[in-house]
Structure 1
Amino acid sequence: MTNKENLIAEAKKAREKAYTPYSKFSVGAAIKTKSGKVYTGCNIEIAALSVSCCAERVAIFRAIADGERDFSELAVTGDTSKPISPCGSCRQVMSEFFDTSANMYLTNLNHDTKTMKINELLPFSFQPEDLVNGENDE
C-alpha cells in the first residue's frame, strides 16, 4: 500500500468509531504529521448539533494536544456518492496547519478519491498574519 492508501485506510477505520446517533452520517479522518505520525478522528455529534465536531478537526486537535503542529497530508472519508468535501470550519482549521503543498485526499466508501491542496479547498483563507498585531493605529 502507498502512503496515500494507508492514510485513507486509517480514515476509514476511524469512521467506524464515529458517534452519530442523530444524523447517522459517519465520517473519518486521518492526518500525517511531517514527523511521520498519524492521527485519526471521527465526527462526534450531540443533541445540540451546533457544538458537534467534525472528524477532520478531531484529528487535528488530537495531534495538536500531543504537541504536533506541522502536518503533511490528510485523508477524509464518508458514505457519499462522490468524494466527501470538508465543511467550511474544517477548511479554515486545515488552512492554519497545512502548508499549500500538502495533499488532501477526499474519498468515499466506493474508493472514489480526489486529491486537492488546501488553497484549492479554501482560496483566500483568513490567516494568522491577517490579525491585527495588537498595536493601536490611533
Structure 2
Amino acid sequence: MATTRTLTRMFRIGVSLVPDPAPDRSPEQAFAMLAIAWPAVAHCTLDTPVVEGDTLVYPAIKPPAQTKGAAGGRRASTRAAKGREDAETQSALAALDAWADADSTATFNPTLHGVVGSTLIRLHNARPSLADPFRIPMP
C-alpha cells in the first residue's frame, strides 16, 4: 500500500534554507515574494527542486557575473567565435613557449646590465627634491 506525504517547500539561497512565505502560490510567485527581504533574489532563478527528507528544496541560482566592456552586458559566444578564441589562445601560448625556450632570454647582456646599473647608482646618489610631493595639499 502506497502512502503519501506532504513535503514542506523551502528555498535555498546561498547556504541558507528559507521557509516558503506562501505555500498556496506557485514556487516562482513565492520566490518573488522573498525579494523584499532578500534583494539579491530578484536576479536569481529557481533550479529543479531536490527532496531532502520531508522538505522540497528549490535552489536559487545566481546569474553569471558580468564585466564592463562586454557587448550588451553579456558576451554572445558562438561555436565559431569560441573556436577562433581557442585557436588564438593556443597560438599565443605557443609563442610564449617559444620565447621562454629561446637562448637569448637566458644570456647576460653586458650593455643592458651597465645601463641599468649606472641609472640605479645615479638615482641613489641624486639630491632629494626641496619639496616633498606628499606634503603638497590637494585641492
TM-score with structure 1 setting the length: 0.24
- Could you say which structure has the higher strand fraction? 1
- Could you say which structure has the higher helix fraction? 2
Larger RCO (alpha carbons 8 Å, 6+ apart): 1
